[in-house]
């Protein structure tokens, strides 16, 4: 393998599968070296070997559980120890959970907020000053179509993704003229293991099917490369988001609840 000293680096969280894996492929295809972050060290090693072999780039693995409050700072220290400059920070790691909030497992909700919100914000805060000093950098935060409307029976997950979009938009405005851009990627239903973990495989919207993770990642990379504020991949998802502006907040909330309702959700006669 021929190594290039001036090749840019992308750090991708949640890189062992799904959208994160495909985002890693997109960055590798476009000439980035990679720092791959996820809990599963063995799977990360497989991904690194695959991408190095296919795209002639360098991929290092940084196993970390970002639902652990100590993990973001430890991850940042490891990149410093390796003298690794991060040109693109991809905050993709996250998960969802469904069910009535009153009956939820609090520890799962806490971990979800830690991963989807706190770790994303902390990693951004840690890596941003170096980007500002160099006057260049790209940040991609993965939100969701759930960023645009409350989601009953996934109320904490939906709120975390609303936070991601609001944070990304506000930070982007702060960074105008600095050489650093922030892009929010807001996919809809995607063919990954997300629905299985979130227990939404039987939700109406999920049963309609969704985009491939590769298509979502391609849209996200293209938006980041162009410095766009946000991207909602897929015409059907964009149509759905546009239609939300036509209804009242109550109507939109009821509709999103129905679309994500599962046979075991409250209010469906089950």
- pLDDT tens readout for residues 201-212: 444 444 455 688
Instruction: Kindly tell me if the per-residue pLDDT of 81 is higher than 60.
Output: yes
* CA separation, residue 23 to residues 87, 123, 186 (Å): 15, 18, 14
Task: Give the active site residue among 55, 127, 157, 163.
Answer: 157
How many other C-beta atoms can be found within 10 angstroms of the C-beta atom of residue 68? 14
Average pLDDT rounded to a whole number, residues 7-19: 96
CATH code for the structural domain at 9-259: 3.40.50.720
pLDDT-derived band at 17, boundaries 50, 70, 90: very high
Instruction: Kindly tell me if the per-residue pLDDT of 260 is higher than 70.
Output: no
pLDDT-derived band at 111, boundaries 50, 70, 90: very high
Contact 149, 252 (CB under 8 A): yes
Instruction: Kindly tell me if the per-residue pLDDT of 51 is higher than 80.
Output: yes
- Verify whether residue 221 is a known catalytic residue: no
The reported pTM is: 0.85
What is the pLDDT, as a whole number, of residue 237?
A: 77
Contact 161, 188 (CB under 8 A): no
**Of 204 and 184, which is predicted with more confidence?**
184
Average pLDDT rounded to a whole number, residues 132-161: 93
């Amino acid at each position: 393998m021929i190594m290039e000293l001036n090749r840019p680096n992308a750090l991708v969280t949640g890189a062992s599968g799904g959208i994160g894996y495909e985002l890693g492929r997109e960055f590798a295809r476009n000439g980035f070296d990679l720092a791959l972050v996820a809990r599963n060290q063995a799977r990360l090693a497989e991904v690194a070997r695959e991408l190095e072999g296919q795209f002639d780039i360098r991929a290092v693995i940084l196993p970390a559980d970002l639902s652990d409050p100590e993990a973001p700072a430890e991850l940042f220290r490891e990149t410093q120890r390796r003298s690794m400059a991060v040109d693109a920070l991809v905050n993709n790691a996250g998960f969802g959970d469904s069910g009535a909030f009153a009956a939820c497992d609090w520890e799962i909700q806490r971990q979800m907020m830690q991963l989807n919100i706190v770790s994303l914000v902390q990693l951004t805060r840690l890596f941003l000053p170096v980007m500002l000093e160099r006057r260049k950098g790209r940040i991609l935060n993965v939100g969701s179509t759930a960023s645009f409307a409350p989601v009953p029976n996934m109320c904490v997950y939906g709120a975390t993704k609303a936070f991601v979009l609001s944070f990304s938009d506000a930070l982007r405005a702060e960074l105008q003229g600095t050489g650093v851009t922030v892009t929010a990627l807001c996919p809809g239903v995607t063919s990954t293991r997300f629905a299985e973990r979130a227990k939404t495989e039987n939700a109406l919207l999920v049963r309609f099917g969704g985009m491939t993770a590769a298509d979502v990642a391609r849209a996200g990379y293209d938006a980041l490369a162009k410095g766009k504020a946000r991207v909602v991949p897929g015409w059907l998802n964009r149509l759905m988001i546009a239609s939300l502006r036509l209804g009242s907040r109550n109507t939109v909330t009821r509709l999103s609840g129905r679309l994500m309702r599962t046979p075991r959700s409250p209010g469906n006669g089950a």
